[in-house]
Amino acid sequence: MNTFYTTPFYRYSRYVWVLGLLCICSLNIQAQNWTASKPVRFIIPQVSGGGADTIGRVIAQGLSDKLAQPVIVDNKPGTNGGVGVDVLMNAPNDGHHILLVFTSLMAINPAVYTKLNYDSLRDLKVLGSLCEVPLVMIANTALEVNSFNDLINYAKSNPNASFGASSGNGSFSHLLLEMLKAKTGAPMTHVPFKGEAPAVQYVMSNQGPMIYIGTPSPIIGPVQSSRLKALGVTTLKRMEQLPNVPTLSEQGLKDFNESFWYGLAVSSSTPNHIAAALSASVSDLAQTNALIQSLSRVGCSSLALNAPEFNERVKSDIIKYTAIAKSVSMKVD
Same domain as 211, residue 170? yes
Residue 240 lies in a domain: no
207 lies in the same domain as 150: yes
Judgement on whether residues 100 and 189 belong to the same structural domain of the protein: no
Span of 27-36, 96-105, 273-282 with lowest mean pLDDT: 27-36
Distance CA 159, CA 132 (A): 34
When pLDDT is averaged across residues 19-44 and rounded to a whole number, the result is 70
Choice between 304 and 79, residue whose per-residue pLDDT is larger? 304
pLDDT, one tens digit per residue, over 122-137 is 999 999 999 999 999 9
Q: Do 127 and 144 belong together in one domain?
A: no
Does the pLDDT at position 22 exceed 50?
no
Cα maximum dimension of the chain: 90
Calculate mean pLDDT across residues 269-283: 98
Residue 227: inside a domain, yes or no? yes
Half-sphere exposure of 275 (CA within 13 A, CB side): 19
Are residues 266 and 320 located together in one domain of the fold?
yes
Domain range spanning residue 227?
136-233
Residues 6+ apart with CB under 8 A from 318: 106, 107, 110, 111, 120, 121
Positions of E strands within 27-153:
40-44, 71-75, 97-102, 124-134, 136-139
Query: 159 lies in a domain?
Result: yes
Domain boundary among 189, 215, 233: 233
Q: Are residues 312 and 228 in the same domain?
A: no
User: What is the tens place of the pLDDT at every residue in 134-187?
Assistant: 999 999 998 999 999 999 999 999 999 999 999 999 999 999 999 999 999 999
**197 assigned to some structural domain:** yes
Number of domains observed in the structure of the chain: 2
pTM for the predicted model, two decimal places:
0.86
Per-residue confidence (pLDDT) for residue 2, from 0 to 100? 54
How many Cβ atoms sit within 10 Å of the Cβ of residue 305? 21
* End residue of a domain, out of 214, 233, 252: 233
- Tell me the CATH number at 144: 3.40.190.10
Q: Is residue 116 included in any domain, yes or no?
A: yes
Same domain, 229 and 315: no
Same-domain check for residues 162 and 113: no
